[in-house]
Structure 1
Amino acid sequence: MSVRIGIRLPACRPVDQLAQAAQRAEELGFDEVWVPDSQLLWRDVFATLTAMALRTERLRLGTAVTNVETRHPSVVASGARTVAEAAPGRFVLGVGVGNSAVEPVGLRSTTQANLRERLGQVRDLLGGAEVDFGPVRSRLRDPNAELPVFVAASGPKNLRLAGEIADGVILLSGVSPATLTAGLGRVREGAQASGRSLADLEIVVSAYCHVTDDIEADARMLKPICAGIAQKGGAAALALAGIDVQVPPVVPGLYPDTVHAEDWAEAVRVCGQWITDEMAVRFAQAFCLFGTTAQIAARIDEVAAAGATNVFLQHVGSYDLPYELMESFAPSLAARTRAA
């Protein structure tokens, strides 16, 4: 595996426990930790990452992802600058359209035009420039122009935008060869529009991961994830893997949504109305990293060959830490270290 391997740590526990989890990820050989931002679901992402920075030495840390809808661009720039000071050269600012941060408070996901404008403001502030905020012009004291900004995207327009304006892109469509190839094509178009090539960007692929020797039995846990993708405009991508499904925009009884449901067993049961066991297995095989450690490592090599520079693993769950996944995948990280 020549790519950097990361792990997603949702900020679902007291900050000291989160910092301890990051420290364990570093001990096990992970290269990166990515923390999501959703103010009602988890602890504050910038406070969490600062605590993680102070407990680690090598690990690269990133937001996956924050947004410029619930957070003003000046707040994003200040928070990012603060974490970067705690982890010099080890912090990446990942930004997306909002999703689980905006919907529970009645806001809409960031439009492409607003994402472009507000990310431009974040970059200008980090670079020390004055920014026009309507009635006033302001600047950030103690800026950090070297801080990399990544954009998370799955749709074609935002993938092109990421290729055009970002230092890297976080691909949210898993490891499906068809969607990965299509996504990288859109990113390449954006990079070329700004006079760059795909080689000038970091390509981060996120994927749900579970170490198992019985995919058929364990794939059922993915039903809410698969349903959530269908809800968010991903039905066409799912169809490429033979999963033809339409899911209502809102599924009553699952709080706050299908992907982050607090009662996961109930979410699996409810989403079984649309996602069959066979569909869940196809989803696990096509879009996720489900299998033995050897099988997962081989899939990661394929993703790297397709153009990814980084892969970060997500466990199925929002309110527990992925210690089981980290420990079970650790032998693959150790084997990679020995090979290097």
Structure 2
Amino acid sequence: MEINSLFPPSLATPDHIVLAEELGFKSAWIYDVPVSFADTGITLAAAAARTKSIRLGVSVFTPHLRHLTMNAALIAHLATIAPGRFDAAIGAGFSSAAYLARKPAKWAEIEEYVTALRTLLAGGEVDWEGAVVSLMHSPVTGITFPVEVPLWIAAHGPKGYATARRLGAGVITNTRHGHNPVPIDGLCALTFGGTVLDEGETYDSPRVIEAAGPNAAMALHLGEQGPLAGTDEARGYAQAIAAVDVRRQHLETHRGHLIDFNKLDRPFVTGEVIRRGSRSGTALEIATQLRRMEEAGATAVFYQPGGPDIPRELRAFREAAELRHQIPALPVPEPAADQEVQHA
């Protein structure tokens, strides 16, 4: 199982990707939410120029944020400057759609979108929104076709998994959104957010709250559909967001999403929210989680570090990941029914 990294991009992310390569992470992907994070293309271009072997990627491109040709052109450019080491994930969109007060794309749209992307990257033309479109880069630009890029589908339920199977694509998923740790055969990557606790450290310690809190806050946003269902914190957050002007709820819910606290999140991010809403734990506990994922069939884990000291988080997680090789084989739990939840 590959140990990979995943970042909500900031201006410091290229530095962190360089470190991830030095530490032995196989891939470094970033989120694509341009109204909230540093620019996707600029961040990965900077990282590509400073790295040699680590794979780079985006998770996820969605139909909402840019025209089909704009995403295809960005993929072509990044794949050209990082030859043989660029991946692109496509998803229905949760956060990215919510920022625009829109609903996630339907899976039929995603299937059509991926098919069109593949055609454009192969150098072909497609009928899109009433027009014939293509990528028309002259060889003088340095970008030539076809462009070969592995495509992944971000999915968290049976409809998304079925779409990935039909497209012959890998799946990247967040197991906190459903019950089955590995939903399909083949390439399946699991996201992993949290912090490695130091010896004697508790879930409610200031460092742990700062490092894991932004990721755990996502569980507050999921409410009764997430791992905090039925808790006082989830109910309190639901009441707080309900008090916001309905025209701004989509903004305030996702302000700082996955990278920082916002004023609505912070009062409800407790040690219990960290424990239940993230995958934080001791090095041995995290190693055990990773060993269980590996034995269940996961082909990769994407770790998202958080807080003010990203280098510390990367180093600690990489060390914990190595411990999994020292853990005896673990029984794989029986899977429960799938749960369909969208997330960008």
Question: TM-score, normalised to structure 1's length?
Answer: 0.76
Query: Residues 227 and 265 of structure 1: is their aligned pair in 2 closer, same or farther, counting only changes over 3 Å?
Result: closer
How many Å apart are 1:22 and its aligned residue?
1.2
How many Å apart are 1:226 and its aligned residue?
4.9
How many Å apart are 1:92 and its aligned residue?
0.5
Alignment-derived partner of residue 337 in structure 2: none
| Corresponding residue to 2:268 among 246, 271, 289 | 271
1:113-154 C-alpha deviation (Å, 9 max, x unpaired): 222222221121112332012443233343335311111122
| Corresponding residue to 1:217 among 187, 192, 204 | 204
Task: Indicate whether 1:115 and 2:104 are aligned.
Answer: no
Counterpart-to-counterpart distance in 1, 2:53 and 2:92: 29
The CA RMSD over aligned residues, in Å, is 3.3
Alignment-derived partner of residue 257 in structure 1: 253
Query: Residues 250 and 267 of structure 1: is their aligned pair in 2 closer, same or farther, counting only changes over 3 Å?
Result: same
Contact 1:4 1:310 in 2 (8 A): yes
1:30-61 C-alpha deviation (Å, 9 max, x unpaired): 11111111111122212211221111111011
How many Å apart are 1:26 and its aligned residue?
0.6
Look up the SS of the partner of 2:203 in the other structure. Answer: helix
For structure 1, which runs of at least 5 residues remain unmatched after alignment? 189-197
Alignment-derived partner of residue 281 in structure 1: 275
Task: Indicate whether 1:203 and 2:191 are aligned.
Answer: no
Counterpart-to-counterpart distance in 2, 1:11 and 1:61: 13
Query: Residues 58 and 225 of structure 1: is their aligned pair in 2 closer, same or farther, counting only changes over 3 Å?
Result: closer
Task: Indicate whether 1:307 and 2:303 are aligned.
Answer: no
Aligned length: 305
Contact 1:98 1:109 in 2 (8 A): yes
Alignment-derived partner of residue 124 in structure 2: 129
For structure 2, which runs of at least 5 residues remain unmatched after alignment? 137-143, 326-344
Look up the SS of the partner of 2:312 in the other structure. Answer: helix
Counterpart code for 2:276: R
1:144-189 C-alpha deviation (Å, 9 max, x unpaired): 3531111112233223222332521111234x9x7134xx44xx3x
Counterpart-to-counterpart distance in 1, 2:64 and 2:254: 22
| Corresponding residue to 1:72 among 59, 67, 74 | 67
Alignment-derived partner of residue 224 in structure 2: 235
Counterpart-to-counterpart distance in 2, 1:308 and 1:146: 24
Counterpart-to-counterpart distance in 1, 2:275 and 2:25: 27
Task: Indicate whether 1:172 and 2:174 are aligned.
Answer: yes
Query: Residues 143 and 68 of structure 1: is their aligned pair in 2 closer, same or farther, counting only changes over 3 Å?
Result: farther
Query: Residues 263 and 302 of structure 1: is their aligned pair in 2 closer, same or farther, counting only changes over 3 Å?
Result: closer
Alignment-derived partner of residue 192 in structure 1: none
Question: TM-score, normalised to structure 2's length?
Answer: 0.76
Counterpart-to-counterpart distance in 2, 1:134 and 1:236: 34
How many Å apart are 1:95 and its aligned residue?
1.7
| Corresponding residue to 1:328 among 316, 321, 332 | 316
Query: Residues 251 and 47 of structure 1: is their aligned pair in 2 closer, same or farther, counting only changes over 3 Å?
Result: farther
Larger CA deviation: 260-269 vs 65-74: 260-269
Relative to total residues, which structure has the larger helix share, 1 or 2? 1
Counterpart-to-counterpart distance in 1, 2:271 and 2:91: 31
Contact 2:107 2:159 in 1 (8 A): yes
